[in-house]
Amino acid sequence: MSVTVRPVTDSVGAEILGVDLARLSDNDFTAVEWAWTEHSMILLRGQTLRDDDLLAFSRRFGELDPPPNQERGRISPPGYPDIYVVSNVLDAKGEPIGALGAGEAVWHTDMSYLDTPPDASMLYALEIPPAGGNTWFCGMQAACAALPDDLRRRIEGRRIKHDGTYNSGGYLRKGVTPTDDPMAAPGAWHPAILRHPNGRPTLYLGRRRNSYVEGYDRAESDALLEALWAHVTEPRFVYEHAWRLGDLVMWDNRSTMHRRDPFDGAARRVMHRTQIKGSARPVAFAA
């Protein structure tokens, strides 16, 4: 089969057909890499991958980052420290085998609290619940291009504080002191509008909790952030993904945000995730 790239929305995402990631030729990888660069998020359905296959595909994009520090630290399958388990399943001792539980995961960009966040993340579906747990993506390049002039003027040349206190599920990261003060929270400062390696401007927000826009007081910053979040999550910029077994989704953390719907905690959901190490610190876009 030849590789087919089919956009899923005008703003973000494409489904790739005709590819077996466990037997990926160099030519097919070039097509996959182009689609990811062009559409910021790619979906490949019906994959049958061992953890070694997932790692081999991931490493074709670059060096891997270790799993993030979550509510129970860094949880990986035995013998696979570069894979991160996202799951609500409990082991024989009643301990979670993964992170983030069954609740909602709010809009966020992976590990943006680091000075050099990961370029990309990918998630592979091993077990899914019968309903719920959908993952939503928003296209931050499209949202940036459509940014109202007044909002653009208020954030151009400014940075945003990205919080590392809580993860996207609202859990306190292991070993971190709780706070809701953006100035006291651990984290990194990044340009509100950054230059993507493809040369395009993209909004870079991270997550809402404990965020702060430099140069404003707290009330002004909060109001500005609320306006930005309302803009980027408009339906025209968003894709909702309903998972099937064997789905692999990869996204660019520099040009997307994502969130997860809650699901029945009595159902099982098991995902394995990898992430591509950041190639450079985010830099501000200069027209």
Residue 191 domain-assigned?
A: yes
| In 26-81, alpha helices (H) | 26-39, 51-59
Q: What is the pLDDT of residue 62?
A: 97
Contact indicator for 123, 271 with CB cutoff of 8 Å: yes
Residue 285 domain-assigned?
A: no
Residue 86 domain-assigned?
A: yes
Residue 287 domain-assigned?
A: no
Alpha carbons within 13 A on the beta-carbon side of 267: 13
Q: What is the pLDDT of residue 157?
A: 95
Contact indicator for 101, 88 with CB cutoff of 8 Å: yes
Q: What is the pLDDT of residue 130?
A: 97
Tokens coding 101? 């539980």
pLDDT at 149 over 70: yes
Residue 281 domain-assigned?
A: no
Q: What is the CATH number of the domain that holds 258?
A: 3.60.130.10
Give me the chain's average pLDDT, please. Answer: 94
CB atoms under 10 Å from CB of 178, counted, come to 9
pLDDT tens string 74-131: 788 899 999 999 999 999 999 989 988 999 989 999 999 999 999 999 999 999 999 9
Please give the Cα distance from 103 to 223 (Å, whole number). Answer: 27
Q: What is the pLDDT of residue 175?
A: 86
Residue 60 domain-assigned?
A: yes
Cα-based distances in Å from 73 to 81, 109, 123, 179? 12, 19, 19, 18
pLDDT at 274 over 80: yes
Domains contained in the chain, number: 1
Range of the domain at 102: 4-276
